[in-house]
Each structure stands twice: as C-alpha cells, then as structure tokens.
Amino acid sequence: MQIRKAKKEDVSLIVQMIANDKLGKLREDYRLPLPEKYLQAFENINNDPNQELVVIEDESGNVIGTLQLSFIQYLTYQGGIRAQIEAVRVHENYRGKGIGKILFQWAIEQSRSKGAHVVQLTTDKKRPDALEFYRVLGFVDSHEGMKLHLT
C-alpha cells in the first residue's frame, strides 16, 4: 500500500467516500459531474502549505482511503503547532482491514516531522465505533468540543 498526495483526478472518489455513510449522505452533494465547489476546495487545499490531503492506494493502485491533515500555528504552547485530522474515510470494501490505522500512523508521524506538539480530531457523537477506534489508537477525549453551524 502507498499513501500519496491527492490529485485532482481523485476528488470525485474522495467525495464519494466522504458521502458514503449515514451522516455524510446528509451533508454532501455527491453526483456526477461533481459540483464545482468540491474542485475549488481541492485547489484551495492543494495550494495551502499547511494542508495535506492524501489517499491510500492498494497494491493495484486503487484509492481505498483518504484523510486531510491540517497544521495550525498558534501562540499558545509557546507558539506551538497543532495537527488536525479531518475527513478520514476508508472505502466500504476495505473497512476493518487496518487501512484506517495505517492512515493514522502516517498522520501522526507526519505531524511529528512538522514539529506539532499535539494531534487532534473531532468526530460526531453519533459515531460510537469511530470514538472507540480513536481511543484504541491512543486518542483521549480530554476536551469538550462545541460548534456553531453558520447558514
């Protein structure tokens, strides 16, 4: 397996994976042709040196998973860097085979190499299996997250 930077040609499959669960179906607009807003978002992510959108391929070169890793510079923790993991998805045919663990190991090592002092993520409370997966990887639910959705 290989983890590589996502390319424009991957965007449709990435969005398809993001939309392929009970919560993703409610918030994504996956259809072909893919709405332009996704391609513009990809360009913004791709051009930002603090963003890494990656895919993982199987031995045949098929994209089977994805995640986005963001590096956030801030003043607290003596000017520390925080790594944020978002949009982790594994293709439904490959779930339960350790692909997510491989992606997370890569993201954690990438975060260390960039000098981050913490890796964080959020997950919806409606995803108990994801919460348990993150705990097994060593993540601790030490903070209460809050969101204000803007319409």
Q: Identify the domain containing residue 58 by its residue range.
A: 2-136
Give the model's pLDDT for residue 89: 95
Q: In whole angstroms, give the CA distance from residue 30 to residue 28.
A: 6
Give a yes or no: residue 67 inside a domain.
yes
Q: What pLDDT does 124 receive?
A: 87
pLDDT given for residue 68 in this prediction? 98
Q: Report the number of distinct structural domains present in the chain.
A: 1
Q: Is 141 inside any structural domain? A: no
80 close to 74: Cβ distance less than 8 angstroms? yes
Contact present, 70 and 50 (Cβ < 8 Å): yes
Band (21; pLDDT cuts 50, 70, 90): confident
Helix (H) or strand (E) holding 120: strand 118-121
Q: What would the pLDDT profile of 78-94 be if each residue is shown by its tens digit? A: 999 999 999 999 999 99
Give residue 146's pLDDT: 87
Look at strands 118-121 and 81-90 and give their pairing: parallel
| Residue 94 maps to a domain | yes
Residue 143 included in any domain: no
**Within the chain, where are the H helices?**
11-19, 24-27, 36-46, 76-79, 99-113, 128-136
Query: Is residue 52 included in any domain, yes or no?
Result: yes
C-beta of residue 44 within 8 angstroms of C-beta of residue 92? no
Two tokens, residue 120: 């964080």
Strand partners, 57: 2, 63
CATH code, 110: 3.40.630.30
